Every structure is written in structure tokens, then in C-alpha cells.
Chains A and B, each alone.
Chain A
Amino acid sequence: MTKSGIETLVAPVQPDQAGAEISAPVLPVDLRVTGLAKSFGDTPIFKDVSFGLSRGEAVAIVGANGTGKSTLLRCLMGLIPADAGTIDVLGTDVRNASSAGVRTMRAQMGLVSQKHNLVPRLSVLSNVVQGLLGQKPGIRHWSQSFAPAPSRDAALAALDKVGLAHLATRRADRLSGGQSQRVAIARALVGHPKILIADEPTASLDPAAGEDVMDLFFSLARQEGVTVIFISHNIEHALRYGDRVLGLADGGMPLDARAASLTAEDLRGLYD
């Protein structure tokens, strides 16, 4: 481990589907998973899943329904406990960290869910201000009305980046699906996270809105140099926006390869 608690790795070192190794520059590792296993009751979801994420890398997770993609992301954030293995995120041993340690780790991450998950009755600006709660807990960040000026400014700037500053005072439940997802992106980015996690961010959007959201999401993520891990059922998205693609199937992770080395046909095999 380095001083900052972040180890380095030659990224990516995983063999591609043809089994050939690709060398790349040395980058810090933001996330390292080893031998991860999870089951719900007697139903195994996945086991022996291992991978790492380098700083600034964008990784797509693909796989059929029920292969544990969302479960994997929730395990990474400590939202649900894994059964076995190790998860190291930004130097935090997620499985053994204290609640405060996990919260500190999460404060450096952002989550964009399939459903935007905004608080419907609150204003757009309040929703984005609440994205700072991990870094600045307490009543002043419960609403934009109580928030200190720098937080309100940061929230408005995040909204401006997603092109919705003019809707800051609108109630979140009065937005369209695409607008809601943009606000969710602003909420995830307002705290300048090191890792962004997106769980099928376009699943509830029409194709055009989905393209807009993905373009925006990745242009902002790249501007900020954020590491991104996203789930997508859209093979085109996985190949276009991911530097690497991880495939879950049959209770494991049979695919871990550079996106450039894959074709859509390769990924379709995971859904058979």
C-alpha cells in the first residue's frame, strides 16, 4: 500500500478474451476486489469475483438479469454485506471498516441509480445540496434553505454543469425522466467524488434521453478525472463508454477485457 492507502497496479493487467496481456501505464488503484462471494439465503449470486479499478478508468459491468450486477455494486459501497472475499475501496477495507469508516469512504463516491431516487417533494437544489451530506453532515445540509452559501453555490454549479440551473427551485417530482436523471448526476458529482457508480442510469429513459444522459455523464466524469463503474444492458454503451468491460455470468466473472478488444457479438454471448 502507498502512503495514501492506495496501491498501484499496472492497469489493466487482465487478459483479454483471447488471453493476451496488455501493458499500460502505472496508475493508482481506487478499488480492488478479491474472491468476492454473495448469496441470498440458499441462492448463490456470485462467487470468487476479483477485479481492480485504476484511477480515471471507466468500467462497464454487463450480464443477464439475476447475475448479481447491482448486488456487486451494493457490496462495493457496503450497502449490503458480502459473504466472503475482500473489498478495498480508496484504501478502506469495506468488509471490516467501522460505520464511520464506511461513511468516510462513501463520501468520496457518488451513486446514480436506475431510478433517479430524488426526494420527490423537495426542490431540485435541495436534492443536490443533500449530495454533500456525507462530507458535511447535519441539519444545515437537509435543505437548500439552511445550507451555507458555499454549499448552495456548489449545488448550483453542479446543476449548471448538467444544464438545469434554471430549474433549481422546481420540485423534483415535476421533472421529466431525463431531467431527473441529470439532477441525480449533479447530486452524485456535487461532492467531487473519486469514484462514480452508475446502476443502469438509462434504464428508465427513452433511447434519445438515454444517449443524452450517458454523453453528459461521461463527459463530466472525464472532466473531473473520476473513476467510473457502471452497469448497462446496452451493449453499445458498454463498448462506447467503458475502457474495460466486466461480464458476469453463471455465478462468476468470466469476462474482464479491454472494450477496444471486444465486439458486440462477444458480449451477446453473456446473455445466452
Chain B
Amino acid sequence: MTDATLPARYDRPSALAFLGYAAGVVIILWSFAGAGFSIEKVISSPPRFADFLDRALPPNLDPQVLERLSWKMLETLQIALAGAVIGIVLSVPVALLAARGLIAPTWVNQIVRTLLGFVRAVPDIAWALVFVVAVGLGPFAGMLAIAVDTIGFCGRFFADDMEAADKGPSESLTATGARKIDVVACATIPAAMPAFISTSLFATEKAVRSSTILGLVGAGGIGIELKVGFDLFDYPTAMTVILMIAVVVIAIEQLSGWARTKVIGEQR
């Protein structure tokens, strides 16, 4: 046995680290206070929630209502799919400009990344309001909002995916004398393709979730039915809308997961 000693199980934090942890706790408590967190309200809410459920259940299953809501749900999916596809396609060139070390100089990368950060910082519902003003009420405004929101999401992640792609194939093609654009098209994008597909499927799921509430601001889809249901105290119809959204979103998530496995495969 040598005279080696075991190190301590845990490192004692430095004074600065300790202050950092303490500041973190204070900020969290401060946020609870700012959010109006109230134990009293938490305790008193279950009876009110039960009252809502009592008035909302059973959901409205009237065939005419179901038919109307189904068409609205279909429109919601159309908004989501069209917006997501436009957003995903446009994200590829945007991501090429945002990715460091590919085709654009660093200052272009910085500008594009900052713009993408701005697009992501604005919530989808705010984009919907902007496009309602720009193109009028209806699903087209919703589709544009989804497209812009998708560019903010996919543009950033596509760029990160390309930066993280295996550099080996790129170097081999560069060594043949290929131009940067050819190297990106032939090596970088195919190497990042599994990540692109995965990100695109997440973006589509996100678009479906977002599109269900865009109707609240008049940008088409089933959201308007939810708003009308609550405004008119027609809770059974509102409950039907909520259940419909839940079923569709869960189904889309399942479908997306299946497609991800099918297209990308294991570890690809």
C-alpha cells in the first residue's frame, strides 16, 4: 500500500462559486414572487378546476359541431405543414450563411445568427399578429407566422448541425480541388442530413402545436373555436377542441418519432 490518499468526495466551492449559487437561489425565489405564486391559490384551485370539468364534461359530440371542428383542425394541420415546409426549405440557405467556416465570412455568420436570434426571440403568436396586420385575417397569416418561426428554429440548428458534421469527408473533397459550395453540397449537408431530418420533424411537431393557438389572434385554424368556446362559456365545445388538439398533437408526435426512426435509423 502506498501513502496515496483518497480525494474528497465533493470539492468545497470557492467563495465566488458560493456567492453564485446563493444568487441563483435568490433569483429563483424572486421569480416565484414576481409570478404571484400563492400556496393559498394552489390549495383553493382544485374545487374550481373540478367545477370547470363538471361544466365541460362530457365534451360536445354533436355531429355538426364535430364536422365543423374537424374542418378547422384540418385547416390547422394545413397551416402547420405548409408553414413548416416553407420554413425548413428556406432554412437551408439561411443556415449555410450562419454556419461558421463553410461558405460565408465570419461577419456574415454573425449578422445572420443575430437575425435568427431575433426571429426566435419573438413568439409565434406575435409573428401571427404582425402577419394579420400585413396580409389580413385568415390562415395565410398563420402560415407565414409558422414559416418565420420555423426559419428561426431550423436556421440555427441546421447551422449548428453543419458545423458539428464530420470534417473528414469535407477535407477529402477539398483535397480533390472541389469548390467550397461543392464540398458543402456533397459532404457537409449529407453528413448533417440525419440531424436535419430530426430537426425538421421536431419543427413540424412544433408547428402543429403552434398552429392550434394562432386562431386566437385571427390567424386561422382551430384556435378561434377554443376562444369562442370560452368566450361564450360553451365549455363542452371548448373541451372537445382541447381533446381534439391533444389527440392530433400526440398522433403527430408519434408519427414523427416513427418517421425519425424509419428515415434516420439507429445511430444515423
Contact = CB atoms under 8 A, between A and B. Distances in A.
Task: Please indicate whether A and B come from the same complex rather than being unrelated chains.
Answer: yes
B46 interface: no
A132 B168 CA distance: 17
B229 interface: no
B175 A184 contact: no
Q: A interface, how many residues as a size bin? A: 35 or more
Given A130-B186, A133-B182, A118 B169 contact: yes
A121 B265 CA distance: 11
A194 interface: no
Contacts of B176: 106-107, 109-111, 130-134, 187, 191
A203 interface: no
A79 interface: yes
- Residue from B176, B194, B268 whose CB has the most chain A CB atoms within 10 Å: B176
B191 interface: yes
B177 interface: yes
A192 to B, nearest CB: 12
B178 A133 contact: yes
Contacts, number: 87
Contacts of A143: 186
A31 B15 CA distance: 60
Contacts of B183: 133
B168 A133 contact: no
B168 A113 contact: yes
Interface in A166-190: 173, 184, 187
Contacts of A119: 169, 186-187, 190-191
Given A120-B191, A121-B193, A130-B186, A184 B172 contact: yes
Contacts of A107: 176-177
B55 interface: no
A104 B176 CA distance: 9
Interface of B: 168-169, 171-179, 182-183, 185-187, 190-191, 193-194, 268
Interface of A: 77, 79, 102-111, 113, 115, 117-122, 130-135, 137-139, 141-143, 173, 184, 187, 191, 197
23 contacts: A77-B175, A79-B174, A103-B179, A106-B177, A111-B175, A111-B176, A117-B168, A117-B171, A117-B172, A118-B169, A119-B169, A119-B187, A119-B190, A120-B190, A121-B190, A122-B190, A130-B178, A133-B173, A133-B178, A133-B183, A139-B185, A142-B185, A173-B268
Given A121-B194, A131-B176, 12 more contacts: A102-B177, A103-B177, A103-B178, A107-B176, A109-B175, A113-B171, A120-B191, A121-B268, A130-B176, A130-B186, A137-B179, A191-B176
